[in-house]
Amino acid sequence: MRSGNVENAKHLLQYVAELLLNGEDAIDCASSLPLSQNLETLSVEEKHDASIAAKTIASRLCVPRDMSAPAAEILRLILVTVAARLVI
């Protein structure tokens, strides 16, 4: 299953990029910082769609083609954490 809305995926990726800018604290920030305003204002269905986008991206990362194993591990963890927060 894939996300059906480009805007939901875009908001998700912008938020994940913001989290990654927190450097070594990015993983902690993924579970502790408030969701972005763009994600908070989504309907339940749209949040579910954004969650699907996060899970799809996490499952399709290719190591070492896309990035190093440590970088992929961090990105996957953040994507999965945010995905879980969206469907609570």
- For the stretch 8-57, pLDDT in tens is 999 999 999 999 999 999 999 999 999 999 999 999 999 999 999 999 99
Domain locations along the chain: 6-86
User: Is the pTM here over 0.85, yes or no?
Assistant: yes
Q: What is the pLDDT of residue 3?
A: 75
Q: Are 51 and 1 in contact (CB under 8 A)?
A: no
**pLDDT tier at 66, thresholds 50, 70, 90:** confident
Q: Exposed, middle or buried, 81 (CB in 10 Å: 0-12/13-18/19+)?
A: buried
Q: What is the pLDDT of residue 50?
A: 97
